Amino acid sequence: MDLFSNLWLGGATAFLPANLAYCFIGCLLGTAIGVLPGLGPTATIAMLLPITFGLPPESALIMLAGIFYGAQYGGSTTAILINLPGESSSVVTAIDGYQMARKGQAGKALATAALGSFFAGTVATILLAVAAPPLAAIALKFGPAEYFSLMVLGLVASVALASGSLLKALAMIVFGLLLGSVGTDVESGVPRYIFGVPQLYDGLNFVAVSMGIFGICEILRNLESEHERSVGVKKVTGLMLNGEDFRRVVAPVLRGTALGSVLGMLPGGGAMLASFASYAVEKRVSPNSAEFGKGAIEGVAAPESANNAGAQTSFIPMLTLGIPGNPVMALMVGAMIIQGVTPGPNVISDEPALFWGMIVSMWAGNLMLVILNLPLIGLWVRMLTIPYHLLFPAIIGFCCIGAYSINNSVFDVFVMALFSVVGFALSKLRFEPAPLLLGFILGPMLEENLRRAMLISQGDPTIFVRSPLSLSLLVVAAIVLALVLSPSIGRKREEAFTE
C-alpha cells in the first residue's frame, strides 16, 4: 500500500465518531493539565492508564497521545500568562512569553505559540508518516543481538541526556532494571526478588509503579511548594498576528520545527530537550537577540514549535522499534502491552489501522488544539484561579480507584503508595525518575533478547560483535558513554543544562 492508501486507512479509523471523541477528550485533558501547573502529561497518562483497559486499542492510544501533545499546547498558556510553566517543556516559553504579556501582548504570544505548535505538529506528523515505515522495515531485519545492542544504546543515550548527575542517572537505570527483574523468571520458573510476597510472583505492576512515581509523587511535590497563582491578565485580546509579526516568526518556527523533529527522536530527548535547545539556538542566530528575555516573539515561536515537533517525532522510535525514548513513550509502550499489542516494527504490518489511525489523529488533534487554545482562552484563564488544595483530594481518590481496578487488588494500591514515597525521596535527593522508568520497561526486553542471542550462539558472547549492525550500535553506545564521561564534555553538558 502506498502512503496515500495508508493515510486513507488511518483517516477511516481516526475519523470514526468514537475515535474523534476520544481524541478530543485527550486534547482537552492534555490542555487542562498543561494549563494547571503541577500535573504533567507523564503523571496524567500514568493515572489514566487503568481507564483505558476497557477501550479498543485505537481509541485508548489516540486518547493518550492527545494528552501528551495537548499538554505541550496548554503548558504555554500558564507560562505566558502567569510566568508559571504548566509543563516542563514550556519553561523557556515563560522567559519571553511572560514579558510579552506584561507589555500587553499576551494575545500575540498565545497566538504565536498555538500557530507555531500547529505548524510544527503538522510537519512532524508528515515526517512520522514518511519515516516510520522504512525504519520499521529496517528494524524487521534485527535479530536478538541487534535488539539487545539497540536497547543498550537507548539506555546509554537516556543517561547522557538526563539532567543532573550522570552517576545518579546511571543508578536510576540500574534501579529500574532491577525492578523489571522482580517476579518469576519466564525461562526457569525461579522466583526472583519476591521476598515471600505471593503477589510479586507476576512482578511489579507497571501501572501501579508509574502512578506512584509520577502521579502521587507529583501531587506531594506540588503540596510542598504550592505557588500562589496570580492571573494578571484577566481578559486576553489581540489574538491576530500582523505582517511584521509573521515576518519575525517564520524562520524561528522553521528552525524550531527542524530541531525539535530531530531531537524528539533521540532516546532521552523529547519535547523538553527540543524546546531548551531551540531557545538556545534562536538566541544565538536571531538578529533580534538583544530582545531575548525582554519579550522577543522569536523566544516564544521557536521553543513552542520545537516542543510540539519533538513530542510528535518521539513516537517514531516507539512505534518502529518498540524503544521508548522518554517516560511518556514508556507509558505508551505499557498501554500497548496492556491492550495486547506488541510494540515494535510489526505494529505497522499487524495493526495498520492502529498505526495509521494514530498518525492521522495527531493531525486532527493538532487542529482541535488550535481551536481549544485560542477561542477558548478565557475558559483556561478562569481555570487558573482554582486552588490546588481543592483539586488534589479528587486526584488522589481517582489514583487509588485506578490502582485498585488494575487487578481488583489492594496490593496494587500499596505498591502505588510505596513508590510515591520512593519517587518523592528520589526527587528530594535530586535523582531523576525518568531513567528509572525506562530501565523498568526496557529491562525485561533487554534480558529476553540477551537470552535469545546467547541461546542462538550457544553461549558465545561474540555474537554481539559478529553482526556489523550490532557492533556498530555497541560502538556508538561506547562513544556516547566515553564522551559524556570525559571531563571537558561533562563540564559543557553541565553548563548547557544550567543554561
Spatial contact of 138 and 462, defined as CB atoms under 8 Å apart: no
pLDDT at 17: 92
pTM: 0.77
- Residue 263's CB is within 10 A of a number of other CB atoms, namely 27
Residues in the chain, pLDDT under 50: none
Q: How far apart are CA 198 and CA 284, in angstroms?
A: 58
pLDDT value at residue 20: 92
CA distance 326 to 264: 9
- C-alpha 262/C-alpha 276 separation (Å) is 13
Cβ partners under 8 Å of residue 77, min gap 6: 31, 34, 35, 86, 110, 373, 377, 380, 381
Residues 117 and 307: their CA atoms lie apart, in Å, by 8
325 Rama class: left (phi>0) / alpha (psi -120 to 50) / beta: alpha
Dihedral over alpha carbons 447, 163, 260, 374 (to 10 degrees): 120
Alpha carbon distances (Å) from 382 to 67, 232, 408: 21, 12, 38
What pLDDT does 475 receive?
92
Provide φ and ψ at 190, rounded to 5°: -85, 130
Amino acid 21: pLDDT: 93
Q: Taking Cα atoms as reference points, which of 44, 39, 40, 37 lies closest to residue 77?
A: 37
Residue 32 to residue 65: CA distance in whole angstroms: 14
Pull the grid cell for residue 393: 483530594
Q: How many CB atoms lie within 10 A of CB 376?
A: 12
pLDDT of residue 254: 92
Q: What is the pLDDT of residue 494?
A: 64
Q: How far does the chain reach from its first CA to its final CA, in angstroms?
A: 47
Distance CA(127)–CA(109), nearest Å, equals 27
Whether the Cβ atoms of residue 273 and residue 325 lie closer than 8 Å to each other:
no
Residue 37 is predicted with a pLDDT of: 62
Q: Which three cell numbers stand for residue 210?
A: 508509574
Residues 323-376: pLDDT tens digits? 777 777 888 888 888 888 887 778 888 888 888 888 889 888 888 888 877 777
Q: Pick from 193, 171, 169: which is nearest to 181 by CA?
A: 193
Q: Which residue has the cell 510476597?
A: 197
Instruction: Output the nine-digit C-alpha cell for 46.
Output: 500514568
Point out which residues pair with 191 in neighbouring strands. 184
C-alpha to C-alpha distance for 138 and 126, rounded to whole angstroms: 19
